[in-house]
Amino acid sequence: MSTQQTTADQQQFTAKTLGLARWVQLAFMGFAVVLLLIFDKTITIAWDKFAEPDPLLVSTLAVVLATLCSVFAYRHATVNRVANEVVGELAKVSWPTREEVQVSTLVVIVTSIIASVIVGTFDAAWSAVTDLIYKV
């Protein structure tokens, strides 16, 4: 068996054993990135009130705070349970196929065009009526 095949089998095994937990972990990583951006901007704005902010120090502080908050949230039993329940419920959802989404999108676009034509016609008619009333 080749090395590439062994690596592919290990990755497939890891994906199967992690199951839905990998999506929970990915969500917490995304949460960390969002917190990083928020903390970076907030610290920069707050620091700017007192002195010229040092970008390296601000970013380092933001990374540390975001990491600590994310690890705390991940290890918090209630937050972790809720995240796992959300991912479990999302796994049960029957997502539409690509063709169903395309057809539904087309229906929405056509319906919007028809509705805008109807509303535009009523608007033009009402505008003509009000012009006649106000000119008299």
pTM over 0.75: no
Burial of 59 (0-12, 13-18, 19+ CB in 10 A): middle
Per-residue pLDDT of the chain (136 residues; tens, 9 = 90+): 556 666 655 555 555 567 888 889 999 999 999 999 999 999 999 988 888 888 899 999 999 999 999 999 999 999 999 999 999 998 899 989 999 999 999 999 999 999 999 999 999 999 999 999 988 6
